[in-house]
Chains A and B, each alone.
Chain A
Amino acid sequence: MIAPDADAPLIERVKQGDVKAFEMLVVKYQRRIERLIGRMVRDVDLVPDIAQETFIRAYRAIPQFRGDSAFYTWLYRIAVNTAKKALMELKRDPLVTEAARASRDEEDDSPRFDSELSDGATPEALLASKQIAAAVNFAIEGLSEELRQAITLREIEGLSYEEIAELMHCPIGTVRSRIFRAREAIAARLRPLLDTREGERW
């Protein structure tokens, strides 16, 4: 990992008591963490709970995170440990899953939460997923060469602004602006697809 950790400014905020900065990190990493846990745990219903547990444990342990590794590497390890722990508990009591499912059906307070989180594999969700991927790829193709290069070097090659500025022979401010404009151009195509009815809940 050559470039400095892009999460460093947010981590610094979290360490200063800014819980919302941690939420920003959650928004960033939730998908990846759930994908990782989903590879370890067959029962898809358990994935959101284990992911929640992962982030809570990470939050508690943030004071011990010293930046020796990238934040995601550290988070990854916590996710793996949390999933393993959950699997071990399952082995001890295979009825845990059944009991959890049963009690969820009885409670009123969060059925919508559960169905939203467990139904990642519904036909609607899969279609939305495909549409989003298609929108991003289509939008990228439609970008000017400069914008496409800037965002590709950043997001796929993982280069820092300084490195990109060198490669593209332009000032760092221009790199920053190009990446922003590329993101906005893609986001413009995405926003209609992103469950805007959920917008207020953010």
Chain B
Amino acid sequence: MSSGAIEGSGSAERLSALVDGELDSAAAAAVCESWKREAELRRSWHAYQLIGDVLRSDDLAAGAGRNVAFLVALRARLAAEPVVLAPAPLQERPPSLPIRAASAAAQRRSSRWMLGSAIAAGFMLVIGTFAVLRPGTAPAPGVPVASLAGPPPSGSNGAILREASLREASDLPGSAVVNARVIRDARLERYLAAHKQFSGSSALGVPSAFLRSSTLDADAR
């Protein structure tokens, strides 16, 4: 092992800070990205964690062999899992947000919109978590909702998204960061962004709650 490990001391030092949780989101994202690519960083992460464990308790001392084997086996199982997504807004949000009750008409209209758009766009929206099936390659982190710049929706769809919601959505920095493999069209992007307020809560993990959240936000913020 060459002492060139210290050449990337910028990234190794940031890795060390991440061990302690003392990195902001952007820097943490960058370190995770490097960890994926660089075996040296992966070895260092293991070593730093082992050092902490051993300092606290001798009986956790062990060579890396078991850890590597464990992780390699777990990776195979993780690859079979849908990627969990529970994107949280980067600012603090109030912990509980009321789910606004909407008129029955609005509910019907928006459900029809959802179904219509899903069928029309020909993509499969997995209700529940934003599950992505079979992520064979590493997900691209930090893919922002870029499609807000798209043309405004026409027809009845436009009635669902208020301008205020669009403004709010475009203010959200890097929110709705999702695996690039999720296929979405621009309208769904805006729709999801407008309902960003429900992210981070388990409401999105429940199918009926997801449908409920598709109601018209009559008093748009």
Residues of A within 8 A of B (CB): 4-10, 12-24, 26-28, 30-32, 35, 48, 51-52, 55-56, 59-60, 62-64, 66, 110, 112-113, 116-117, 120, 125, 128-130, 132-133, 136-137, 140, 151-152, 154-156, 160-161, 176-177, 179-180, 183-184, 186-187, 190-196, 198-202
Contacts and interface: CB of A to CB of B under 8 A. Distances in A.
Interface string B23-48: 11100110010011001001111111
B88 A20 contact: no
A151 B54 CA distance: 12
Contact of B74 (A17, A52, A184, A190): A52
For chain B, what secondary structure do more than half of its interface residues adopt (helix, strand, loop), or is it mixed? helix
B69 A116 contact: yes
Contact of B25 (A9, A17, A52, A137): A9
Given A116-B69, A183-B48, A193-B63, A20 B138 contact: yes
A14 B84 contact: yes
B50 A16 contact: no
B62 A187 contact: no
29 contacts: A6-B22, A7-B21, A10-B32, A17-B85, A18-B29, A23-B75, A26-B74, A27-B42, A27-B49, A30-B66, A31-B62, A32-B53, A48-B70, A52-B70, A59-B78, A66-B202, A117-B69, A117-B70, A136-B55, A136-B61, A140-B55, A155-B51, A160-B20, A176-B16, A180-B17, A183-B47, A184-B16, A191-B47, A198-B64
B22 A176 contact: yes
A160 B22 contact: yes
Interface residues of B, number: 76
Interface of B: 1, 6, 9, 12-13, 16-25, 28-29, 32, 35-36, 39, 42-56, 58-75, 77-78, 81, 83-88, 129, 132, 135, 138-139, 141-142, 177-179, 202, 204-205
A51 B70 contact: yes
B29 to A, nearest CB: 6
- By Cβ-Cβ distance, the 10 closest A-B pairs, closest first, are A6-B21, A63-B86, A9-B28, A202-B42, A180-B16, A133-B61, A132-B61, A187-B47, A116-B69, A17-B179
A72 B25 CA distance: 20
B81 A24 contact: no
Nearest to B47: A187
A187 to B, nearest CB: 4
A166 B79 CA distance: 44
B66 A120 contact: yes
Contacts of B62: 31, 120, 125, 128-129, 132
A201 B81 contact: no
Contacts of B50: 31, 132, 190, 194
